[in-house]
Chain A
Amino acid sequence: MWEIIKTATPQLISAGIKYSIPIALISFFFGMVLALMTALVRLSHKNRFFLIVKGIFRFYVWLFRSTPLLVQLFIAYFGLPYLTIPGIFPNGIKMSPFLAGILVFSLNTGAYGSETIRASILSISKGQWEAAYSIGMKKMQVLWDIILPQAARISLPPLSNSFISLVKDTSLAASITIPEMFEVSQQIAAQNYQPLTMYCLVAFYYAIVCTLLSFLQSYLEKITSRYTIQ
Chain B
Amino acid sequence: MIRLTNVNKTFDKKPALNQISTEFPENKVTVIVGPSGSGKSTLLRSLNLLERPESGQYQFNHDFDIDFSKPISDKTILKLRQKTGMVFQGYNLFAHLTIIKNIMEGPVKVLHQNKNEARKNALALLDKVGLKDKANVYPSNLSGGQAQRVAIARSLAMAPEYILLDEPTSALDPELELGVLKVLLQIAKEQQSMIIVTHNMAFAQQVADKMIFLEDGQIKFDGSAHDFFTTNNQRIADFISAMTLHEIK
- B74, B96, B106, B109: residue with the most chain A Cβ atoms closer than 10 Å: B96
Q: Give CA–CA (A134, B110) in the complex, Å.
A: 11
- CB neighbours (8 Å) of B138 from chain A are 226-228, 230
Residues A145 and B140 in contact, CB atoms below 8 Å apart: no
Expressed in whole angstroms, the minimum distance between the Cβ of A230 and any Cβ of chain B is 6
Known: A127-B92, A149-B96. A135 touches B140 (CB 8 A): no
List the 7 shortest-distance A-B pairs measured between CB atoms, nearest first: A134-B86, A131-B92, A127-B92, A135-B106, A136-B82, A227-B138, A136-B81
With A141-B109, A145-B105 as known contacts, state yes or no: A127 contacts B81, CB within 8 Å: no
Contact B94 A134, beta carbon cutoff 8 Å: no
Decide: A230 and B94 in contact? CB cutoff 8 A. Answer: no
Taking a contact as CB atoms under 8 Å apart, the answer to whether A145 and B109 are in contact is yes
10 pairs, A vs B, C-beta closer than 8 Å: A127-B88, A130-B86, A133-B50, A134-B84, A136-B110, A137-B110, A138-B78, A146-B96, A150-B96, A230-B140
Q: Which of B116-146 contact A (CB under 8 A)?
A: 138-141
Given contacts A134-B50, A135-B110, A136-B106, contact A128 B81 (CB under 8 A): no
Say if the beta carbon of A85 comes within 8 Å of chain B.
no
- Using an 8 Å CB-CB cutoff, how does the interface string of A161-177 with B read, 1 for contact, 0 for none? 00000000000000000
Instruction: State the majority secondary structure of interface residues on A.
Output: helix
Given A130-B92, A138-B78, A227-B98; 13 other pairs, CB 8 A cutoff: A130-B86, A131-B86, A132-B105, A133-B50, A135-B82, A135-B105, A136-B110, A137-B106, A137-B110, A141-B110, A227-B96, A228-B140, A229-B140
Chain A contributes a number of interface residues (CB within 8 A of B) equal to 23
B90 sits at the interface (CB 8 A): yes
B79 interfacial by beta-carbon distance below 8 Å: yes
Q: Tell me whether A153 is interfacial, beta carbon within 8 Å.
A: yes
Residue numbers of B with Cβ under 8 A of A are: 48, 50, 74, 78-79, 81-82, 84-86, 88, 90, 92-98, 105-106, 109-110, 138-141, 154-155, 158
Residues of chain A within 8 A (CB-CB) of B82 are 135-136
Q: Are B154 and A135 in contact (CB under 8 A)?
A: yes
CB distance from A120 to the nearest CB of B (A): 13
Residues of A within 8 A of B158 (CB): 135-136
- Nearest-CB distance from B238 to chain A (Å)? 33
Closest to A153 in B: B96
Given contacts A136-B110, A227-B140, A228-B140, contact A131 B78 (CB under 8 A): no
Contacts of A138 in B (CB 8 A): 74, 78
The one of B50, B74, B106, B110 in contact with A130, judged by C-beta atoms closer than 8 angstroms, is B50
Q: Which residues does chain A contribute within 8 Å of B105, judged by CB atoms? A: 132, 135, 145-146
In Å, the complex CA distance between A230 and B141 comes to 7
Taking CB atoms and an 8 Å cut-off, the chain A residues in 180-230 that contact chain B are 226-230
- B74 surroundings in chain A (CB, below 8 A): 138
A138 to B77: give the CA distance in the assembly, Å: 10
Contact with B along A22-43 (1 / 0, CB 8 A): 0000000000000000000000
| Closest residue of A by beta carbon distance from B80 | A136
Do A134 and B109 have beta carbons less than 8 Å apart? no
Residues in B with CB closer than 8 Å to A125 are: 92
Give the chain B neighbours of A228 by CB distance below 8 A: 95, 138, 140
